[in-house]
Amino acid sequence: MLGLIVLAVVVAPQFKLFDRVMMVLSGVLIGWILHMLARCRVIATEQGLTVVNAFRTRRLAWAEVVDADMGVGEPWPTLDLADGTSVGAMGINGTEKALAARQLAELQALLHEHGEAPDPS
């Protein structure tokens, strides 16, 4: 964002005020989108899970979450809910393979401990 502000100030004179304002607004938009993606997380408490995705936050009781699974190549795990729907947990990033596997295992252990998830077979 700062780079686009500096660029808007020092660009060639043929750029009008509208062009400069649009550069700054583009920086603000890009910064906002990156902020929304960076805030993704999964928080476990005694009451349940809070899944913070880019544009939506969901609070789920342990009994609502049936299972958590992440297939090979998927960007994040999917939480299967008792009502038959599913929610992506963007806070566990699948590209960080070892970290994602550890976090998913921890989440599955919590689901088996607190929730209605079936025991692993």
pLDDT in tens, 67-103: 999 988 899 999 999 999 999 999 999 888 899 999 9
Q: Could you tell me if 79 and 90 are in contact, meaning their C-beta atoms sit under 8 angstroms apart?
A: no
pLDDT over 90 percentage in the chain:
66
Provide the pLDDT for residue 1: 79
Contact (CB, 8 A) for 113 and 107: no
Closest CA to 70 of 84, 87, 57: 87
Q: Is 21 helix (H, G, I), strand (E, B) or coil?
A: helix
Pairing of strands 78-81, 86-88: antiparallel
Taking CA atoms, 6 is separated from 9, 10, 84, in Å, by 5, 6, 50
How far apart CA 115 and CA 49 sit, in angstroms, is 10
Whole-angstrom distance, CA of residue 88 vs CA of residue 40: 11
Least confident segment among 8-17, 51-60, 71-80: 8-17
